Structure 1
Amino acid sequence: MRIHAACLLLLGLVACTAANTNTPVSTDATHAGAPLPFIEDDYARALAEAKAKGIPLFVDVWAPWCHTCRSMKAYVLSDKSLARHAGRYVWLEVNTDLTQNAAFQEKFPIEFWPTLYVIDPREEKPLLRFAGSATVAQLVKLFEDGERAYKGGITGAEALLARGDALYGEGRSAEAVETLTEALAEAPADWSRRGRAVESLMTAMYGAMQVEPCAKKALELLPGTPRSLSWANASMMGLMCALSIPDQAASKELRVALEARVVEAMGAPIIEMSGDDRSGLYEMRVGARELEKDEAGVKALAGEWLAFLEAEAAKAPNPDARSVFDSHRMLAAMKLGTPERAVPALEQSEKDLPQDYNPPARLATLYRLLGRLDDALAANDRALARVKGSRRINVLSNRVDIHVARKDIAGATKTVEDAVAYAKTLPASQVSPRMMKGLEKKLAGLQAEAQPAPK
């Protein structure tokens, strides 16, 4: 699992998979030859099939802007070895950009993208909720854990882990924290699921916004957790919690200790992880250096990060897989102070993936930073022609910034008003309150700027 700031629904830079439309593509065409027979964006059909077959429902909740979702699709869910598990579940993928999925999101709200659910179709209750990415091996263990929770009959730490998973799946994060803590206390030292339980505990603590206890708990549990991807993820989640503590002066010792654990996770012996996962560790380290106002450290890390991403993209087997790294290449280049370095990759992605709104949306931001304002507006036009659903608000928000850079306050104001009006047409479960506050703040600032100066 990997969770970091870019996995949250923020205004701007992140992205995830190829084409996005507001109508589902034929499942048979999309998944022909795929190892797992996912149903696309039809919860009612998937639920009915699961009830009829008497097996649980496995759900991949993703979004086209989420690079980790794209990484999962390109490098994990496409793995042919998963085909032998096809009969264990009914498989559903839910694109949160689509308004038709609002009812699912209202019933099963999420905080991070991607989120994997195992749902009991008998009661429509989540048995397991796993946030972030997973390796093929981790995914298979999740299949096992979901089945065991569905069938019941487990005891001890295993039962507590299943209960903690279910509580987190229901959005009862604080109760999940208590139960998962109990599971780790009861389990033997060599428990095979210790790593995942630690990961799940860190995620639940963050979900409950117990950020300082989360950071302290990470430092407490990491020494007794086997070195693995789960260890790396727990260290990163601990640092994420530490960076979220309001009193940054008092929490510096925690940040330093957890940043050291993240550095350790990236070192020898090498922990097997995807390029996207390793990129997330770089991002968290850059965030820590920024908080310390270490400009030289930020630049050095950003340069290393960008070189790593360029090498990973060069190894990608196809344009979809290569574009996994686009948003982080853009972010690393911006942190380095060389946004132009990411432009060729995004221009190539737009050529290779002509229906994807993400490349032109990102190019619009880069062109704006480079002072190429006409190009920025044209790229934003292309993105708006392709994007639908809730993500359209982000593209409109970025258009506001372009108008401001062009000193077109009237155009910027109208665009904010258009974005707010459009947001009101969407289901409430698909509109981020944080984004709406951001739009309201932009509108207030623009209206103030438009007021004539007092004589």
Structure 2
Amino acid sequence: MRSHISRLLLVGVLGCSAARTTAVSEPPAAQAQAPLPFIEDDYARALEEAKAKGLPLFVDTWAPWCHTCRSMKAYVFTDAALAKHAGRFVWLEINTDLPSNAVFQEKYPVESWPTFFIIDPKEEKALVRFAGSATVPQLEKIFEDGERAFRGGAEGPEALLARGDALYGEGKAAEAADVLAQALAEAPADWSRRGRALESLLVAQYGAKRHEVCARTALAELPRVPHSASWANAAGLGLMCVLQVPADTQGVKELKAALEEKGREALSPDISMPADDRSGVYELLVEARKAAGDEPGAKVLAEQWLTFLEGEAARAPTPDARTVFDSHRMSAALVLGTPMRVVPAIEQSEKDLPDDYNPPARLANLYRRLGRLDDALAASTRALEKVQGSRRLRVLSERAEIHLARGERDAAVRTLEDALTYAKTLSGAQASPRVVAGLEKKLSEVKAK
């Protein structure tokens, strides 16, 4: 599944770290083998280079906590098959944890991680904004669509797809959804962009809060898309949308059942997709069972999910690739009520990646749930020594929970006040009003205890 799906459903679970950053240890050899020449965290330099070369700018916006971002870096952006595309764009990656990247985020808002932009450097206009993961073939379609939008001259459904992409890039989700729906309606049955266009349409419909329309669109359009990673993404997006539809809506029970069936079909071994995407499908199916009040069914799926993740982690080629699965392993274990099952793996991740804040942040959460409060506080301290940006607010919020569990109300108050003070130093793009309001509400509740 695409990363934003899990991010929207389980935003409270600490995610993952990623490669090509000083926040994570990575062997120099891995950097040397990177097939695409990404510029790191320097929009001004990348923009000038793109203008000088007359090329569009491809931007990977990621965050160290985002497990799908990490999966892309560990398993997709390292694929040698991408090397032939190196000259098509100027390549930039933006770590949204860094306060220094706030200017980019203000200009190009990021709602889910990862998000890929293709930008016209002359007008600084987003031609494509694609949220979520992608395989190499899916990336290649995005490259082609971005170039077509940059060069102009597209006609028919391709022109509508380019227009829809541009509207979504401008943050006009409802308008983008209308144009993308028109593209699908006018396209021939064998249109090579059908899967890609359907994914983008469903994302736009979700962004426009047309949840029921999104769910029904997915169900209607899936039979027209070949079984593929795009098919699985679209099935997951439809399920994500229907989970947002009020339970008393007429026909929603049947709609949920139909999309859950599509989700189970997406797990079929005949669909080739990244392990992280398959994990996202499991996550959605677990959420669907929980939403239906079927806790036993949710636990059966969670056991299958965790077993799958343990197998993928065992096969991972490097510690960095292995930790792609840490946050979802944690999520599945918590559904099962067996947090200790994942503690050794995350402790190993902290040993293997000593500069990454994610393992100690996750351990702080797990230790608290296990009643190991001294260990939880120590792990939280280790995470705070490394974390910055909006994720620091999450770590501080979790630290307040640890203090409360220890009976230290005053310390919890001070911690939340520290979080709010730090939030004021961040751009609104990194500490949104919603996040700040949540911290203020939590502080008021703690003070009232």
**TM-score normalised to structure 2 length:** 0.96
Partner of 1:452: none
Q: Report what 1:410 is aligned to.
A: 410
Indicate the residue corresponding to 2:443 in structure 1.
443
Partner residue in 2 for 1:74: 74
Using the TM superposition, give the Cα deviation of residue 404 of structure 1 relative to its aligned residue in structure 2, in angstroms: 1.0
Paired residues of 1:157 and 1:184 also in contact (CA < 8 A): yes
1:230 to 1:244, Cα distance in 2 relative to 1, 3 A = same
* TM superposition shift of 1:249: 5.7
- 1:193 is aligned to 2:193: yes
Aligned residue for 1:167?
167
State how 1:43-442 maps to structure 2 within 5 Å.
43-248=43-248, 250=250, 251-267=252-268, 270-442=270-442
Q: Runs ≥4 in structure 1, deviation > 6 angstroms?
A: none
* Matched letter for residue 259 of structure 2: L
> What are the superposed Cα offsets for residues 156-185 of structure 1, whole Å, 9 maximum, x if unpaired?
001000110111011011110110011011
Deviation at 1:137, TM superposition (A): 1.1
Against the structure 1 CA distance between its residues 5 and 190, is the aligned structure 2 distance closer, same or farther, given a 3 Å change threshold?
A: closer
Contact 1:3 1:237 in 2 (8 A): no
Q: Residues 31 and 37 of structure 1 are in contact (CA less than 8 Å); yes or no, is this contact kept in structure 2?
A: no
CA RMSD, 1 decimal: 1.9
1:174-232 Cα shifts (integer Å, max 9, x gaps): 11011001101110001011011111100000011111111111111112222211111
Tell me which amino acid in the other structure corresponds to 1:397.
Answer: S
One-letter amino acid of the counterpart of residue 16, structure 1: S
Shift of 1:6: 2.9
Give 1:434 deviation, angstroms: 3.1
Deviations 1:246-288 (A, max 9, x none): 34564222211111111111125x1000110000000000000
- Matches of 2:293 and 2:338, distance apart in 1: 19
1-side partners of 2:254 and 2:307: how far apart?
Answer: 30
Q: Secondary structure at the match of 2:13?
A: coil
**107-116 or 429-438: which moved more?**
429-438
Q: Which moved more, 1:252-261 or 1:395-404?
A: 252-261
Q: What is the distance in 2 between the residues matched to 1:309 and 1:216?
A: 31
Aligned length: 446
1:68–1:114 CA contact under 8 A, matched in 2: yes
Q: Which moved more, 1:1-10 or 1:220-229?
A: 1-10
Cα shift readout 1:371-430 (whole Å, capped 9, x = no counterpart): 000000000000001111221101001101101111111111111111011101111111
Offset, 1:16: 2.9
Does the CA contact (< 8 Å) of 2:25 and 2:354 recur in 1? no
Deviates more, 1:8-17 or 1:39-48: 8-17
TM-score by length of 1: 0.95
Give the whole-Å Cα distance in 1 for the aligned partners of 2:155 and 2:295. Answer: 51
Question: Contact between 2:72 and 2:133, CA under 8 Å: does it hold in 1?
Answer: yes
Cα shift at 1:356: 0.1
Is the alpha carbon distance of 1:182 and 1:174 closer, same or farther for their aligned partners in structure 2, counting shifts above 3 Å? same
Give the 3-state SS of the residue equivalent to 1:244 in structure 2: coil
Distance in 1 of aligned mates of 2:355 and 2:61: 21
Matches of 2:143 and 2:32, distance apart in 1: 22
Match of 1:12 in 2: 13
Contact 2:216 2:255 in 1 (8 A): yes
Work out whether residues 343 and 366 of structure 1, in 8 Å CA contact, stay in contact via their aligned partners in 2: yes
Report the Cα offset of residue 11 of structure 1. 3.5
Task: Kindly provide the CA deviation profile for residues 93-131 of structure 1, in whole angstroms up to 9, marking residues without a partner as x.
Answer: 000000111010000001110000100111110111111
Letter in 2 for 1:354: P
Rounded Cα–Cα distance in structure 2 between residues aligned with 1:308 and 1:193: 31
Q: Distance in 2 between matches of 1:389 and 1:170?
A: 24
CA distance in structure 2 between the aligned counterparts of 1:88 and 1:16, rounded to whole angstroms = 28
**Change in CA separation of 1:4 and 1:94 when aligned onto 2, cut-off 3 Å:** closer
What is the alpha-carbon distance in structure 2 between the residues aligned to residue 199 and residue 4 of structure 1? Answer: 12
**How far apart, in 2, do the equivalents of 1:69 and 1:158 lie?**
28
Alignment-mate amino acid for residue 76 of structure 1: V
Hey, what's the Cα distance between the residues in 2 that align with 1:188 and 1:225? 12
- Kindly state the Cα deviation for residue 135 of structure 1 after the two structures are TM-superposed: 0.4
Aligned residue for 1:103, secondary structure, equals helix
Cα drift, residue 25 of structure 1: 11
2:385 aligns to what SS in structure 1? helix
CA distance in 1, matches of 2:372, 2:203: 41
Contact 1:19 1:353 in 2 (8 A): no
In 2, the alpha carbon distance for the partners of 1:32 and 1:21 equals 15
Q: Higher mean Cα deviation, 31-40 or 98-107? A: 31-40
Q: CA deviation at 1:4?
A: 4.6
Gaps of 5+ in 2: none
SS of aligned partner of 2:64: coil
1:283-317 per-residue CA deviation (whole Å, 9 max, x = no partner) reads 00000000011111011111111000000000000
1:429 is paired with a residue whose SS is coil
Q: Secondary structure at the match of 1:93?
A: strand
